[in-house]
Chain A
Amino acid sequence: MKIGEIFRPYISWANGQGDWPDIVFSTRGRFARNVYGFSFPPRASKEKLKELAETAMNAVKKSRLFIKAHCIHMDELDGIEKAFLVERHHISHNLASQVSGAAVVVSSDETMSIMINEEDHLRIQSISSGLSIKRVYENIETMDSQLGRILPYAYSRQFGFLTACPTNAGTGFRISCLVHLPALARTGQMAKVLENLSTLGITARGIYGEGTYVLGDFYQISNATCLGRSEQEFAENLNRVVNNLIRHEIHARENLIKGGAKAKTEDGIFRSLGILKNARMLSYEEFMQHISLVRMGAAMGLDMAIDISSINQLTILMQPAHLQTLAGRKLDQFERDVERAGYLRKKL
């Protein structure tokens, strides 16, 4: 399979649309569903998993949302192609490591996908740019209702939708926003913010690189539980929390360009732009550190010569598997760092 020919270098859901795109990178939602009469994937036999994959694919293809969809079986992919799909948020690391019957169906505009035989039989997912909880919820809700009419879901009146891991049982619903919080991080408020969130039934996750900052200052904000409240309540709660974060981040950004802080902030932003424009070698981590500041600069109206949408695209495209797909060949870490810097010099 040639994944680079199926998926273009332009990522539709990273186009800077939706509400508050300069702070909310993307919104994602998913339902975990299982089909009655089959064991959960970790315990099912190879034959059963394949039977389920086929049944599920046929059911998905009947939906109008998946016209001209891409059906991809994990056993057709090499390592880079799997990593490519992970980087693009269509599959999880866990799905990438499964073999028998593991597959994904991705809608032609890439805003919807269904993972088959991950930890659960089905993971119905949608992704959209900016803060767009309502749209994402409606997408997966529509698909879920259509599929539920064709496949008998495992459901109990007491526990709701039944999943392999009890942490997903109930609604099977996870809704999350990827938020960019460089100013809160730089004004030292992140620890407090994260701790406050946990009292609201919300989980915040960031992957720290070396040093104190989270990779690119991006945090994944999602509901921590999914049973005992309705899908709408979980969605509204997240919406409230993310709106609050946006307010705090805006306030922190204002403080960064007030008085004496202004020169220091702008200096940092333009230095980062300079590095991205001129470096000859750049690791993904270093790239993220600088693109984060450039992204904030663009949002503040500084002349970055690149808009939020293009910055978003770069954030996806500069990841290792995407870079190798763009280059059309396997690259080791050293070659990737050279390739990345070269690509950025051309783009900026």
Chain B
Amino acid sequence: MLCHECREKEATIFLKVAVNNKITEMHLCQDCASKKGMPSGFGQSLPISEMFGNISGFVKEFLPKEKKTLRCWSCGLKYSEFKETGKLGCPDCYKSFEPQMTELLARIHGKAVHTGKKYSPKDFPELAHARKKRLLEDLKKELKEAVEREDFETAAKLRDSIKDLEK
């Protein structure tokens, strides 16, 4: 059988992956498998994100459509870039793309609400303080930048966030 990827060389690696009732089969030559970062050794797991991101296009096919201009207010990642790579830029991307992420997570995991281990930096006062300080600094810097480039919509959002934090 020929390699599914390059359609030139003989496939030597056969991978069968079953996720959420969806079975993906891949036939690859050694070269293409290595290019995909696919482990060929013993017991090495293929990172699940690889499987979703590159192999089956799983994430991409589930991503809600969104207008091109949507981007993360914190790291600047465009939603369209996320659709390309399947990788988010920073923790705040989850907030920036909240409706989209809610839908996407529900499709990947079956649910979109975390019920596992709880975590709150508030439980660790020093941590919470350091985090708040750092976040405020970042936000103020971004606000300044937004004002400079006359992006008043973003600036207004940032001002709200700063006010919330300073309460």
Contact = CB atoms under 8 A, between A and B. Distances in A.
A165 B53 contact: yes
Contact of B116 (A148, A160, A204): A160
A205 B48 CA distance: 10
Contacts of A229: 111, 115-116
A152 B130 contact: yes
Contacts of A34: 91
Contacts of A310: none
Interface string B128-146: 1011001100100000000
Given A152-B130, A156-B95, A174-B48, A230 B117 contact: yes
Contacts of A149: 124, 127
Given A159-B105, A203-B48, A230 B115 contact: yes
Contacts of A215: 41-42
Interface in B91-117: 91, 94-95, 101-102, 104-105, 108-117
Contacts of B49: 119, 164-165, 167-168
Contacts, number: 214
A224 interface: yes
A38 B19 CA distance: 31
Interface in A109-163: 119, 144, 148-163
Nearest to A153: B119
A143 to B, nearest CB: 13
A76 B94 CA distance: 35
B94 A201 contact: no
A93 B44 contact: yes
B32 interface: no
Given A205-B15, A225-B110, A228-B114, A43 B75 contact: yes
Given A178-B43, A198-B22, A207-B40, A39 B117 contact: no
A280 B17 CA distance: 35
A210 B130 contact: no
B43 A159 contact: no
Contacts of B42: 87, 215-216, 218, 284, 288, 315-316, 319
B77 interface: yes
A173 B110 CA distance: 16
B108 A167 contact: yes
A32 to B, nearest CB: 10
A274 interface: no
Contacts of B116: 160, 170-171, 173, 229-231
B37 A94 contact: yes
Contacts of B43: 25-26, 89, 178, 218, 220
Given A43-B90, A173-B116, A227-B114, A222 B109 contact: no
Nearest to A160: B114
A86 B39 CA distance: 9
A220 B45 contact: yes
B109 A94 contact: no
B57 interface: no
A276 to B, nearest CB: 16
A97 B37 contact: yes
Contacts of B121: 36, 152-153
Contact of B18 (A26, A119, A195, A231): A195
Given A158-B114, A178-B43, A201 B18 contact: no
A273 interface: no
26 contacts: A40-B89, A42-B85, A42-B87, A43-B75, A94-B37, A94-B47, A148-B124, A151-B127, A152-B128, A153-B121, A165-B59, A166-B59, A198-B23, A201-B20, A203-B19, A207-B44, A208-B14, A209-B12, A210-B12, A218-B42, A225-B108, A225-B109, A226-B109, A228-B110, A228-B111, A315-B42
Going nearest first, the 5 A-B pairs with the smallest beta carbon separation are A228-B111, A160-B114, A154-B91, A198-B18, A208-B14
